[in-house]
Structure 1
Amino acid sequence: MNAQPDPRHDIDGDVYVSPRYLASTTETGDPALAPLLALSWNLQYDEDSNAHVSAPDRRVRLGYLPEGEDDGLWRINAYKDSFGLPAWGVCFNDRVPTEFVTAFTTALATAYEQGPDVYLARPVPGNDERNPFLPLVPLLKQGWEFDRPRRGVFAAQAPDGLAGLEFATGDLDPAAELTTRDARWQLWAGTSVDRPVWYATASTGTPIALLTAVTQSIADPSPLPRWRQDTGSYIKGMAQLTPILPPGPRAPTPFDVQRDVASRRPAVLPAASVPRWSTASRPALPGPRR
């Protein structure tokens, strides 16, 4: 059974979407930009309000392109030479769940702090930390099935068949990897890889640690919160939508219990207000005649 987030937290949404890879994007890219901006990366906007973020050494650049020329909403490139061709490139289209992009940029921020030997580390077959098959592991641990859908391609597919990861072998065109879906890695969700709800691509030189961060987020069994009106008709019949419960009552504190007990205790009049008789008391006045 999937673990449900605590409904008493501040949740941006009114339904949980499960499986999470069918949740689609959110209305803002701020969570994915935050890990890089926290490192004082430079943020600029163009005349179309697209965001462009660059590392201090200009060797890593990110574009958040809601007004771009195609459906590539997120494009991230890294360079050995800031004026040369990209050493690697990643693209997330405009329906990829923002949490998956955030997993990537969080891992990228960590790698950048460790230096170019990490954020430019190319995959190495047989290497324990840089093996190109490592991104498949988190998915296979969650019951995804290993597959070879066509020659030269290794894949992992979700149990429901609505998401997958493909790893292509052999020689690929470096330019095509950066501009098309003919890349070394491709992630997708939907009814098929040919007509995906969303897709993400990564070129040959993309560090394995960054890709694995994304597949770990995809493999997480917990659902993602979304607003029902933003889920889109494309997930009807595919995703499960569970209403998010309203916040539960606050547990009483010891002070609350003490105050409640005090409010139920009968009132006691002060001693001075109780009339008492003594020999010094004045005689009672006669009452009115009837």
Structure 2
Amino acid sequence: MSPQATPQPDIDGDVYITPRYLAATTGIGDPALAPLLALGWDLRHDDLGNAYMTAPDERVRLGYLPEGEDDGLWRINAYKDLFGLPAWGVCFNDRTPTEFVQAFTTALATAYEQGPEMYLARPDSGTDEHDPFLAVVPLLKQGWEIDQPRWGVFALQAPDARAGMEFTTGNLDPEAELTTRDARWQLWAGKSIERPAWYATASTDTPVALLAALTQCVADPAPLPRWREDTFSYIKDMAQLTPILPPRSPAPTPLDVQRAFASRRLAALPAASVPRWSTTSRPALPSTRR
């Protein structure tokens, strides 16, 4: 790594990636698990290295599945009936930027603290708080536009056409929403929705507050740090990579300025006028008269 690209101590990476939705995963799941661990959720692992988290009331479950059967790395389900189908489910594939998953789990932790009326809240266009439109507002504010609307699908596309979001209307198969990409909501980035670099899906009854936290993070114009050598080739072709420069020296304080001024004044004095310490004996005092 060249000195010009030395990252700051609190930044894990040597380049910034713009736009952030082309940044792919960090490969580390801990940041997304942390908000739920802080609430005392139970964490267990299997022999393959998969991780499973369960809320204290057992109504929300998370799976971090690097050794799963498909590319669904993150699966989060919530239940009204502990022995029934999930009330809602979300999936992030194995290349989704970890920061996006963390935004979702952070919002989930907040909703969980507020109770089932929040983490099981169904979208409702008749209310201000749970209107599904709130989930797309962060994208619209960043210039995402309606993309070739077609029957049964409301779609948005990023300004560079490298990311999009789709909302499918009509009746959907509840089980298919949880196990395939045929879900109510789908967010993606890459060359096309058919060949995404990463994708995330959310079923019909996923709370709007959780979706809005996700889209807010995706729409954030701030870049994300990554290591250049770990960056996928498709990202280098589509995104802008900017070296992370060393941190600038902090601005001098008034005390620093005062010390520097005093130092310059001392250096400008003639040598003879500069007081010096002496190790010689002091001159003898005059003797007293007898």
- Is the pair's TM-score, using the shorter chain for normalization, greater than 0.5? yes
Aligned residues of 1:185 and 1:203 also touching (Cα < 8 A)? yes
**Alignment match, 1:23:** 23
SS in 2 for 1:175: helix
Matched ranges for 1:237-252 at <5 A: 237-252=237-252
Instruction: Give distance in 1, aligned partners of 2:284 and 2:146.
Output: 98
Is 2:153 the counterpart of 1:146?
no
**Which whole-Å CA distance do the structure 1 matches of 2:12 and 2:94 have between them?**
19
Looking at structure 2, the residues matched to 72 and 32 of structure 1 have their Cα atoms a distance apart, in angstroms, of 15
CA distance in 2, matches of 1:73, 1:24: 13
Give secondary structure in 1 for the equivalent of 2:25.
coil
C-alpha separation in 2, matches of 1:227 and 1:155: 32
* Cα RMSD for the two superposed structures: 2.3
The within-5 A match list for 1:110-259 is: 110-253=110-253, 256=256
Secondary structure in 1 aligned to 2:237?
Answer: coil
Structure 1: distance between partners of 2:21 and 2:59: 30
Q: Which residue of 2 aligns with 1:269?
A: 276
TM-score when normalising by structure 1 = 0.88
Residue 248 (structure 1) shift? 2.1
How far residue 262 of structure 1 moved from its aligned partner, in angstroms, is: 5.0
TM superposition score normalised by structure 2: 0.88
Distance 2:153 2:72 in 1: 23
For each residue in 1:18-61, what CA deviation from the matched residue of structure 2 results, as whole angstroms up to 9, or x when unmatched?
A: 00000000021111001000001000001111110110000000
Deviation at 1:200, TM superposition (A): 0.3
Moved more, 135-144 or 228-237: 228-237
Displacement of 1:230 in angstroms is 1.4
SS of the residue aligned with 2:247? Answer: coil
Tell me the residue number matched to 1:3: none
Unaligned runs of 5+ in 1: 1-6, 281-290
SS, match of residue 70 in structure 1: coil
The amino acid across from 2:137 in the alignment is V
- The 10-residue stretch of structure 1 (131-140 or 14-23) with the greater mean CA deviation from structure 2: 131-140
Is the 1:130–1:208 Cα contact (8 Å) retained in structure 2? Answer: yes
**Structure 2 letter corresponding to 1:11:** I
Give the direction of change, closer, same or farther, for the CA distance of 1:198–1:274 in structure 2 (3 Å limit): same
Offset at residue 255 of structure 1 (A): 5.4
Aligned residues: 274
Letter matched to residue 226 of structure 2: R
Identical aligned pairs, as a percentage?
Answer: 71
User: Residues 274, 193 of structure 1: CA spacing in aligned structure 2 closer, same or farther, 3 A cutoff?
Assistant: same
- SS of residue matched to 1:124: coil
| Corresponding residue for residue 57 of structure 1 | 57
**Structure 1 residue 234 displacement after superposition:** 1.0
> Using the alignment, how far apart are the partners of 1:278 and 1:38 within structure 2?
77
| One-letter amino acid of the counterpart of residue 88, structure 2 | W
Runs of 4+, deviation exceeding 3 Å: 250-267, 270-280
1:77-113 Cα shifts (integer Å, max 9, x gaps): 0000222210000000001111110110000000001
AA aligned to 2:77 is: N
Residue 155 of structure 1: how far off its partner (Å)? 1.0
Query: In structure 2, do the counterparts of structure 1 residues 129 and 9 end up closer, same or farther at CA, with 3 Å as the change threshold?
Result: farther
Q: Assess if the C-alpha contact under 8 Å between 1:120 and 1:206 holds in 2.
A: yes
Residue segments in structure 2 that go unaligned for 5+ positions in a row: 1-6
2:34 corresponds in structure 1 to 34
**CA distance in 2: counterparts of 1:90 and 1:227, whole angstroms:** 28
